Structure 1
Amino acid sequence: MNTAVIHPRPNPIVAAMYTVRDMDVDVIVLHGPAGCSFMASRPLENAGVRVVTSALKDNDLIFGGTEPLVRTLKEVRNKFNPKTVAVVGTCASTIIGDDMAAAIRRADIGCNVFPVDCHGCMAANTDGAIRALKAGAKAGVIPQEECDRQTALLKAATELERQRGMAARTYLSPAVSPTKLHVCRQIADALKAGKKVAVVMLAKKELAYRFADMFVAVDEARRKLGGKTFFVANMDGSVGLPRIRRYCSNIMAELDADGVSIDRLVGGLDEYAVVGERMKAEVDAFAPDMTIFLGICHAYPDLKKEDILITDQPRELANYLNQNFLSAVGEVSSHNMVMGATGIVHLETADTLREIVREM
């Protein structure tokens, strides 16, 4: 029986918007009220994609939203001259039964425009992303093979959350992160004592820009204090949607410029839910005295209570603390900080480690 989850969960509409962004569409038209998904729409523009709304009013819910959508698409053509536009559905457009494809044909704005039929009441947020992938493949924006690959990965991610993540708990109260001093002193002391420290990143999308800073900080600490390190990350830039591949290449280039080497690249940023066992085999061969996990830590099998877990979500942090992972900390503002990033963004835990190392 599935757990009845009552804490807020990610929205399928927003998942669809992020997915078409990752396909490198030029404009997203959200077909619904002006305020729908407002908190996601504004930051998405920081990533270089235009986000507009058909701004449905109460009368449109009675007489239909075709006219507002046609007007919006023509305005999009005049203002942005896009090559690719995704029209993403909402609860409102679904309830009134708007035919977005018909409105797109009627607007006829002379570029590749495709509808994503989704709404907020779908079973999982990943269902919205899957519908966006299928729509993108049908429109020729991505290959069908990549659509199938991404769909399988999203289903695996959904199952991971149901088994071990936030969807496995009926309610999680957002947690305030414990201080970073405790975990950073552990890391510094381990390196100074000549111990072996593994850093494992299981990051999702642009959050890799922030978590990657921990590799830099631990490498700096090793150079000063000693010890041995082993770095593993899901940053294989040869797989994934176009924008996600760029994240990997940008981060790897910056790490290389800083003289930091990732010992093992295991999977891409979209594969966090399926690479845990492969990562574990690599880490076990290194036989670390301490392991630091970054991102979606529970994607790694057989976490130990003494492991250091660094996540970005306050409810996921609560999930870890409730399971007595006493060295779990949160970087809860990370998502807003990495929207539109093109290079590594400093991590508070990493900066805390740097400060401790300077004083040793």
Structure 2
Amino acid sequence: MQYIQPRPSSIVAALYTVRDLGVDVAVLHGPSGCSFKHARLLEEDGLRVITTSLADNEFIFGGQQLLEDVLRYAEKTFNPKRMAVIGTCVSMIIGEDMQAAIDSSGITTPAITVDIHAGFSENIDGVIAALEPAAKAGWITEDELTRQRHLLAKANEVERLRGAASKRYIEPERGDLKHIAAQALLEYARSGKKGMAIMNAKKETAYMFIDELCALHEAAPDADVTYLANLGDCGLPKVRGDAERIRTEAQERGLPLSILGSLDEYGALGDDMGSAIQERNPDFLLIVGVPHAVPAEYTKGITVFSITNGPRQVAPLRELGHQYVLVEIDLHPKTLGVRSIVESEFGAVLRSMKCAPS
């Protein structure tokens, strides 16, 4: 499909992936402004992002010597355990051999090159471009690489079928008012109706999405609600660590949580979560994170409250029949660099109604 709305960048996807692989320093081989916003955000999450700052002179004569200098500087200054050189549109166009620069630089830090640019139609190409050299370097197994390929394909399929990539252009929306949805959700929960709350979140976004399940349990502790979340122990190093921290804290808060799948399996869990919904047969359902992963056949006839962090996901969720659709604006920046659960806007609203009559 030829989109006319902005789509995620494969360069940025590569940056997030090397972060998940335990890279300490990522060198963007391109202009200083390339992927600036995400580079700054990732620095909040422990990944030091530096750039070779290629300019018009290097566009003509090449920037290998500059890259070698930056690699030596990075090793000496930051003492990293792992490094990655990330390509850009400029390095691709001028045909830069980034591996040759690593080999000639004399650095001893384990390092991989990610040959990528922003011209790919799918951002998952950036993920695969980072995972393949990581597997070759022994940072992940071939089995994990195969697993990741499968999960990426499933996530891409979900977005194309029911997500923000399902149409050429989708008008961004803010969704329903949170206090109206919170009041309706608590009325269901406090009425004795049978409910189910599911988190199917992508990676670190779970630090905030899990809060909405915690808040519902706090506001309606005696409600007949079962809680399910994709916090299993699988995936790349950072993903596993995040899941363990979130799972432990949620349980310490008293959330009676069952686990189904892991944080990198959000796109592949639709049918499994759908089967759990059918088995529970709830009157109402709260799904947070990537709600559109669950096909509509599993939620038909159920009052559904869904929460996403994508304004362009609102319309597709309404088309799936979800009666209440909410957006947690700026969720992703708020969950970068954190190591404990972050209060959500919807969670705060639920807590404010904790003692309110139904």
TM score, norm. by length of structure 1? 0.95
Q: CA deviation at 1:359?
A: 2.2
Contact kept, 8 Å, 1:222 with 1:228, in 2: the verdict is no
Tell me the equivalent position of 2:228: 232
Contact kept, 8 Å, 2:177 with 2:326, in 1: the verdict is yes
For 1:140-191, what per-residue CA distance to the aligned partner results, in whole angstroms no more than 9, with x for missing partners?
A: 2112211111111111111211111111111112212321012111111112
Q: CA deviation at 1:321?
A: 4.2
Question: What is the identity percentage for the equivalent residue pairs of Structure 1 and Structure 2?
Answer: 40
Q: CA deviation at 1:80?
A: 0.5
SS in 2 for 1:167: coil
SS in 2 for 1:195: coil
For 1:21-46, what per-residue CA distance to the aligned partner results, in whole angstroms no more than 9, with x for missing partners?
A: 00011111111100000010001011
- Residues 115-264 of structure 1 correspond to what in structure 2 (within 5 A)? 115-223=113-221, 226-237=222-233, 239-263=234-258
Q: Distance in 2 between matches of 1:260 and 1:72?
A: 48
Q: Distance in 1 between matches of 2:321 and 2:32?
A: 43
Which residue type is aligned with residue 344 of structure 1? I
Q: Distance in 1 between matches of 2:86 and 2:144?
A: 20
SS in 1 for 2:339: coil
- Residues 1-360 of structure 1 correspond to what in structure 2 (within 5 A)? 3-223=1-221, 226-237=222-233, 239-263=234-258, 265-302=259-296, 303-304=299-300, 306-321=303-318, 325-360=322-357
SS in 1 for 2:303: coil
Q: Distance in 2 between matches of 1:276 and 1:61?
A: 46
Q: CA deviation at 1:324?
A: 6.0
SS in 2 for 1:232: strand
Contact kept, 8 Å, 1:213 with 1:347, in 2: the verdict is yes
The Cα RMSD (Å) is: 1.4
List alignment gaps of at least 5 residues for structure 1. Answer: none
Q: CA deviation at 1:227?
A: 2.5
Q: Distance in 2 between matches of 1:199 and 1:119?
A: 39
Select between 296-305 and 154-163 the one with higher mean Cα deviation.
296-305
Number of positions where the alignment pairs a residue of Structure 1 with one of Structure 2: 354
Q: CA deviation at 1:49?
A: 1.4
Which residue type is aligned with residue 259 of structure 1? G
Q: Distance in 2 between matches of 1:202 and 1:323?
A: 16
Which residue type is aligned with residue 329 of structure 1? L
Q: CA deviation at 1:61?
A: 0.6
SS in 2 for 1:35: coil
For 1:117-138, what per-residue CA distance to the aligned partner results, in whole angstroms no more than 9, with x for missing partners?
A: 0110012000110110001111
Q: Distance in 1 between matches of 2:308 and 2:128?
A: 25
Which residue type is aligned with residue 287 of structure 2? F
Q: Distance in 1 between matches of 2:6 and 2:225?
A: 38
SS in 2 for 1:24: coil
Q: CA deviation at 1:328?
A: 0.2
Contact kept, 8 Å, 1:222 with 1:229, in 2: the verdict is no
Q: Distance in 1 between matches of 2:3 and 2:260?
A: 32
Q: Distance in 1 between matches of 2:117 and 2:81?
A: 25
